[in-house]
């Protein structure tokens, strides 16, 4: 018989104060209050495309110009966005907890680097970063914050549904400094494997933690979607912070419904 999760904040804070190894697993909802559209929310459309349709290797090989326009747009949007109260609460809490010899590991599905910007250390980025590139020829990966990332994309990428595709010739898209191969965003698309080292680190943190917070994720994308249920299956406390219930809510001990920018500063204070 499944029991409803508790929304007793005082009870959560007791568990939180005793925890030695905490994992905070985040998704797009943690950046929503910074004004970054979530993946599956109402702002998740770009032109006539669902984000899911462009975040695939097939889409990139079929039309690299279109997919670059989409990621260029999202890189440029991030120039105007700052960490919000949820990112800050997590970063400050990690510093305090580490100062006491305990551990907090942040595992994120986001590619926006806002956890870094807030000062969180050792962020495990499951799905890569908007601000890294990957060469499809030699595999070189490196940080890149150029704006625009190449001249041909300057002023391109407008999200309105009637914007025409720019059809930029492949030779004018971003290219590798080492081997001149075509670059792609260093993100994990549907059907692609997550990086082995990153997955290993995430599994270690998930396997060792004695408290897990799941913040702003719809919990539908694997393998990330099974991390918190795995923790709950060990009998360890899991607390979900989300505007809605998710397919995994029933498996967790705590569920706090509302904006995480309001809930986390209280929960982690």
Helix axes 260-267, 85-99, angle to 10 degrees: 20
Per-residue binding string, ligand BJW, 223-242, x by CB under 6 A, is x-----------------xx
Residue placing its CB nearer to Zn ion in the complex, 62 or 137:
137
Instruction: State the number of binding residues for ligand BJW (CB under 6 A).
Output: 34
Residue placing its CB nearer to ligand BJW in the complex, 103 or 128:
128
Tell me if 221 contacts ligand BJW by CB under 6 A. yes
Per-residue DSSP letter, 138: T
DSSP secondary structure letters along 195-212: PHHHHHHHHHHHHH-SEE
Tell me if 66 contacts ligand BJW by CB under 6 A. no
Tell me which of 48, 162, 222, 235 binds ligand BJW, using CB under 6 A. 222
Tell me which of 192, 204, 207, 269 binds ligand BJW, using CB under 6 A. 192
Rg of the chain over Cα atoms, rounded to whole angstroms, equals 19
Per-residue binding string, ligand BJW, 10-29, x by CB under 6 A, is -----------------xxx
Chain positions 158 to 177 lying near Zn ion, rule: CB under 5 A, are: 176
Chain positions 109 to 168 lying near ligand BJW, rule: CB under 6 A, are: 109, 111, 127
Return the closest-CA partner of residue 142 out of 170, 119, 176, 171. 176
Return the closest-CA partner of residue 83 out of 120, 114, 125, 124. 114
- Candidates 72, 115, 116, 127; catalytic one: 127
CA distance 267 to 262: 9
Tell me which of 96, 143, 158, 220 binds ligand BJW, using CB under 6 A. 220
What are the residues whose beta carbons fall under 8 Å from the beta carbon of 55, sequence distance 6 or more? 187, 189, 190
Buried b (16+ CB within 10 A) or exposed e, 110-138: bbbbbbbbbebeebbbbbbbbbbbbbeee
Catalytic residue at 127? yes
Return the closest-CA partner of residue 147 out of 128, 168, 131, 134. 131
Q: How far is CA 262 from the centre of its chain?
A: 19
The answer to whether the CB of 134 falls within 8 A of the CB of 179 is no
Tell me if 264 contacts ligand BJW by CB under 6 A. no
The interface partner of residue 67, options being Zn ion, ligand BJW, none and the CB cut-off 5 to 8 Å by kind, is: none
Tell me if 181 contacts Zn ion by CB under 5 A. yes
The interface partner of residue 181, options being ligand BJW, Zn ion, none and the CB cut-off 5 to 8 Å by kind, is: Zn ion
Residue placing its CB nearer to ligand BJW in the complex, 150 or 243:
243
Active site residues: 127
Give the footprint of ligand BJW on this chain (CB under 6 A): 27-29, 32-33, 38-41, 55, 109, 111, 127, 187-193, 216-218, 220-223, 241-244, 246, 259-260
Give the footprint of Zn ion on this chain (CB under 5 A): 135, 137-138, 140, 176, 178-179, 181
């Amino acid at each position: 018989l499944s029991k409803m999760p508790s929304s007793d904040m005082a009870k959560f804070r007791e568990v939180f104060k005793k925890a030695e190894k905490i994992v905070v697993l985040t998704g797009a909802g943690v950046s929503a209050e910074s004004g970054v559209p979530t993946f599956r929310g109402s702002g998740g459309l770009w032109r006539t495309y669902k984000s899911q349709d462009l975040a695939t290797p097939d889409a990139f090989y079929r039309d690299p110009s279109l997919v670059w326009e989409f990621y260029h747009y999202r890189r440029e949007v991030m120039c105007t966005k700052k960490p919000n109260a949820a990112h800050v609460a997590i970063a400050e809490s990690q510093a305090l907890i580490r100062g006491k010899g305990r551990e907090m590991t942040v595992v994120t599905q986001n590619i926006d680097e806002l956890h870094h910007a807030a000062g969180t250390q050792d962020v495990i980025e499951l799905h890569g970063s908007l601000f890294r590139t990957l060469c499809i020829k030699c595999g070189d990966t490196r940080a890149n914050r150029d704006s625009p990332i190449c001249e041909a994309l300057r002023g391109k990428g407008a999200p309105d549904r009637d914007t025409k595709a720019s059809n930029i010739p492949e030779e004018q898209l971003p290219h590798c400094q080492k081997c001149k191969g075509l670059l792609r965003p260093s993100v994990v698309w549907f059907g692609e494997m997550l990086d082995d080292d990153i997955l290993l680190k995430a599994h270690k943190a998930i396997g060792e933690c004695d408290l897990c917070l799941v913040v702003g994720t719809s919990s539908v994308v694997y393998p990330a979607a099974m991390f918190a249920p795995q923790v709950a299956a060990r009998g360890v406390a899991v607390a979900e912070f989300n505007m809605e219930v998710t397919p995994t809510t029933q498996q967790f001990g705590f569920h706090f419904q509302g904006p995480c920018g309001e809930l986390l500063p209280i929960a982690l204070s």
